[in-house]
């Protein structure tokens, strides 16, 4: 690889966490934390929402349309950063998120709540994507891996705060406050961003939005999502095939479009940037499978309540955080070793989950301890790779597309999350999740199949770029 991707000396944590850098770190991490905590809060309080205002038929749409909104927001972040200064772009994202949270807090019916969730997703997607682009603007290159690790660590924090905050308010019958309390926090971070982030406009990207690509992308996610809940194999297969066909069409449109959704080379695995994105997508698939479905199986097969299952499953994100922080100071040779070992660690954790989760333990602490170990292994494996993959994306970006490349990290992760969740739904249905005793068989198939996602990333020559 060219010298533009060399790994400079990594600065210490003290440089990142003092003075102006400390305020910038706070605001960038705060946006990611808001979005991440919101995910766990919503998952915890939605059963209480349904009991209060009804709408059980629309339950799944809370997640699917929220993810679609997040994809749109993440994709729009590059244009926002082009049109506005970093401070104003961040403030815009925060205000949109606060508006969506307020709508959710006052929603009289489920349809209004879903509308609020879409607006939340738009703002939250921007709050997720903008920090990745702003790291390059706000910090020196030697701080990029540390800053990436710090941002990744917000997901670990969210797994501790989200279920506890949402669960406590749900128990008190105050689910509206769980949404409403996020709005003033978002406004606070907007004010801090206006004072601490650079005030100059950034003109290295594109001003427009890739409208056709976004329509195709959202349609693909919705097609697979609808297929996942369709009755019968034929309907599920039709949804999956339609989603894949729309993604193929998106790739063709992207090649000839002046305003791009992803930077040049992103859709070609043989290209350095495409290899990085493909690796990140496969690792994100691994995390999604664990994070979304482990709580379900812990309740069905291991006699845990919703709160305990959510907290226990959250140790996966804690492992991600620990891995990101521990690996952030690695130099070029160390980063190469971590990128080689990360997929094997994640795959080992997934295979352990395949063996352990399917066994009905009745809440036996020894089995639960082994499951926790497997979850930490999955999270740690992904975490040690993530800061270096994200840093390489910024250094590998084609000239003039650095902002688009870095903000697209979250677009890739969100699409991988949405598509893999929908595909996992198909796997669970085919494995008999709804049949008596079907949970054990479904868990074996799910974790066994998804364990091959990190193993596929072994075939991608990312290590050559370090």
The topology (CATH level 3) of 15-203 is: Growth Hormone; Chain: A; (1.20.1250)
Element (H, E) at 302: none
| 100-125 pLDDT tens trace | 999 999 999 888 998 999 999 999 98
Q: Which long-range contacts (CB under 8 A, 24 or more apart) does 445-450 make?
A: 446/289, 446/293, 447/289, 447/350, 447/351, 447/353, 447/354, 447/357, 448/350, 448/351, 448/354, 450/285, 450/286, 450/289, 450/350, 450/420, 450/424
- Give yes or no on whether 15-203 and 265-461 have one common fold: yes
Distance CA 242, CA 427 (A): 17
* Token representation of residue 170: 């749900």
Residue whose token pair is 């097969």:
301
Model confidence, pTM: 0.72
Is residue 349 a contact partner of residue 375, using CB atoms and an 8 Å limit? yes
Residue whose token pair is 């094997």:
344
Distance CA 158, CA 43 (A): 12
* Token representation of residue 120: 């939340």
List the alpha helices (DSSP H) in 231-364: 232-256, 272-301, 306-313, 315-327, 332-357
Distance CA 195, CA 244 (A): 44
Q: What does the pLDDT read at residue 92?
A: 94
Domain ranges of the chain: 15-203, 211-258, 265-461
Helix, strand and coil in the chain, % to nearest 5: 80, 0, 20
265-461 is classed CATH 1.20.1250.20: yes
| 122-169 pLDDT tens trace | 999 899 888 877 887 888 878 877 887 788 778 767 777 887 787 778
Q: What does the pLDDT read at residue 99?
A: 96
Distance CA 217, CA 144 (A): 30
The whole-number average pLDDT for the span 214-220 is: 87
């Amino acid at each position: 690889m060219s010298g533009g991707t060399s790994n400079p000396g990594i600065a210490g944590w003290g440089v990142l966490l003092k003075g102006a850098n400390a305020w910038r770190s706070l605001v960038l991490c705060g946006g990611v934390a808001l979005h991440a905590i919101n995910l766990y809060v919503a998952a915890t309080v939605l059963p209480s929402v349904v009991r209060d205002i009804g709408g059980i038929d629309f339950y799944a749409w809370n997640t699917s349309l929220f993810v679609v909104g997040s994809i749109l927001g993440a994709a729009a972040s590059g244009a926002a950063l082009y049109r506005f200064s970093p401070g104003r772009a961040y403030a815009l994202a925060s205000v949109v998120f606060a508006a969506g949270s307020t709508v959710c807090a006052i929603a009289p019916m489920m349809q209004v709540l879903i509308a609020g969730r879409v607006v939340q997703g738009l703002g939250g997607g921007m709050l997720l994507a903008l920090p990745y682009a702003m790291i390059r603007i706000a910090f020196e290159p030697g701080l990029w891996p540390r800053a990436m690790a710090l941002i990744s660590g917000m997901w670990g924090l969210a797994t501790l705060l989200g279920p506890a905050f949402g669960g406590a308010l749900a128990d008190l019958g105050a689910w509206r406050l769980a949404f409403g309390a996020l709005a003033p926090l978002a406004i606070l971070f907007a004010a801090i961003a206006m004072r601490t982030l650079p005030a100059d406009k950034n003109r290295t990207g594109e001003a427009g939005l890739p409208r056709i690509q976004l329509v195709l992308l959202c349609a693909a996610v919705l097609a697979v999502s609808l297929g996942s809940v369709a009755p019968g194999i034929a309907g599920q297969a039709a949804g999956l095939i339609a989603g894949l066909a729309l993604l193929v069409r998106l790739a063709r449109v992207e090649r000839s479009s002046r305003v791009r959704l992803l930077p040049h080379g992103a859709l070609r695995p043989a290209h350095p940037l495409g290899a990085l994105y493909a690796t990140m997508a496969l690792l994100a698939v691994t995390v999604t499978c664990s994070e979304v479905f482990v709580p379900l199986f812990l309740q069905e097969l291991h006699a845990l309540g919703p709160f305990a299952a959510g907290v226990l499953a959250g140790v996966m994100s804690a492992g991600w955080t620990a891995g990101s922080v521990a690996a952030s100071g690695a130099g070029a040779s160390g980063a190469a070793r971590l990128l080689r070992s990360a997929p094997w660690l994640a795959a080992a954790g997934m295979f352990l989950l395949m063996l352990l989760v399917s066994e009905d333990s009745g809440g036996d602490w020894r089995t639960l301890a082994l499951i926790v170990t497997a979850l930490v292994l999955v999270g740690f494996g992904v975490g040690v790779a993530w800061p270096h993959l994200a840093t390489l994306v910024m250094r590998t970006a084609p000239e003039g597309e650095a902002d688009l490349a870095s903000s697209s990290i979250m677009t890739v992760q969100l699409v991988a999350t949405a598509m893999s969740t929908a595909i996992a739904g198909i796997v669970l249905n085919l494995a008999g999740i709804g049949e008596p005793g079907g949970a054990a068989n479904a868990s074996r198939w799910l974790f066994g199949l998804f364990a091959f996602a990190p193993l596929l990333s072994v075939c991608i020559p990312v290590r050559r770029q370090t």
